[in-house]
Amino acid sequence: MDCTWGLDDTVNASDIPKALRCATRVARRAGSLLLRHLAAPKRIDLKAHHDIKLELDRRTQRLIERLLRREFPNVSVLGEEGNVGDPAAAWRWVVDPIDGTVNFTRGIPHACVSIALQRRLPGSSGWDGYESVVGVVWDPFLEEMWTARRGARAHLNGRVIAVSDTRQLRDAVVTLGFAKSAASVRRNLPVFSRLCSRVMKVRIMGSAALALAWTAAGRLDAYREEGICLWDIAAGGLILECAGGEFHREPLSQRFTYRLWATNGLLRGQLERAIKPSRRR
Ligand code: LIP
């Protein structure tokens, strides 16, 4: 892998394969907590109208932090459940310990562990000035390990994957998310209503990381969500890019949130036209 970016004392080019192996091991270990607790009663830390936070979210992230920092003691961790070290450092792990928490809370086996290693882009500043270099999404329920390293092909359980070649909306299976606030539900709802009649099917699954991984493997053709968080998509976005897809994200005013279009690289123009408000006559 040609690592021309600035080396520093936290990570260097020869560490990238080691980081991928480490993230894979850690994700699998964290996934065993999800498996063990899927059917168990859950301790809820916070319940909002469109969101749930579990004690197990925090416990799983603490485990991930401990294991990552055992091998990479100088790399910070930025996660849905808090940060360890400087989240604005040259290198950072970006972690979602349970992506699909509401599904998981209700015993729906569609959730995963998402771990990405990111590096700051040369000359960039701000929370969004990074790119993922390693991405791992572990689905413990289907035993599917999704992995990618920038500059190489994406893999599912060690086999190379690629996006679909769907070119027409009428043939497309698209997934959407509504994020976590009343405002994001309001903003995402028109997208749902305008797409339903134009595509073959719309699916709403509840895990951004798996939506990205499934698009990377061609199970889905596109995924859109407004108000999605960095930790939900940092690993899955790299997996999609390394599978030949398009990971188009626009930072929003709320820190660490995006408007996201993830596609097979062939559909974004049609999708964006399809969701435009129709001209009143
Ligand atoms: C979830 C995302 C999903 C989104 C949910 C939630 P979490 O992440 O994966 O796409 O629609 O609102 O943000 O909270 O389960 O890690």
Q: pLDDT by residue (tens digit) across 191-243?
A: 999 999 999 999 999 999 999 999 999 999 999 999 999 999 999 999 999 99
For 157, which DSSP code?
Answer: T
Output phi, psi for 166, to 5 deg.
Answer: -65, 125
Tell me, in angstroms, the distance from the centre of ligand 1 to residue 102's CA: 8
Regarding the beta carbon of 207 and ligand 1, being less than 6 Å apart is answered yes
User: Could you tell me if 137 and 213 are in contact, meaning their C-beta atoms sit under 8 angstroms apart?
Assistant: yes
Tell me, in angstroms, the distance from the centre of ligand 1 to residue 100's CA: 5
Atom of ligand 1 nearest to the CA of 53: 14
Q: pLDDT by residue (tens digit) across 36-73?
A: 999 999 999 999 999 999 999 999 999 999 999 999 99
Tell me, in angstroms, the distance from the centre of ligand 1 to residue 5's CA: 32
**Across 126-138, average pLDDT:** 97
- Residue with the smallest CA separation from ligand 1 atom 12 is 179
- In whole angstroms, give the CA distance from residue 148 to residue 168: 28
Domains delineated in the chain: 3-160 (3.30.540.10), 169-275 (3.40.190.80)
Regarding the beta carbon of 188 and ligand 1, being less than 6 Å apart is answered no
pLDDT band at 125 (very low <50, low <70, confident <90, very high): confident
CA distances to 89, 117, 196 from 50, in Å: 32, 29, 22
Regarding the beta carbon of 100 and ligand 1, being less than 6 Å apart is answered yes
User: Could you tell me if 13 and 3 are in contact, meaning their C-beta atoms sit under 8 angstroms apart?
Assistant: yes
Probe residue for ligand 1, chosen from 51, 228, 229, 254 as the CB with the greatest number of ligand atoms within 8 Å? 228
pLDDT band at 176 (very low <50, low <70, confident <90, very high): very high
Q: Bigger pLDDT: 263 or 87?
A: 263
Amino acid at 184: S
Bridge partners (DSSP) of residue 77 are 84, 93
| pLDDT for 280 | 65
Output phi, psi for 125, to 5 deg.
Answer: -145, 170
| pLDDT for 14 | 84
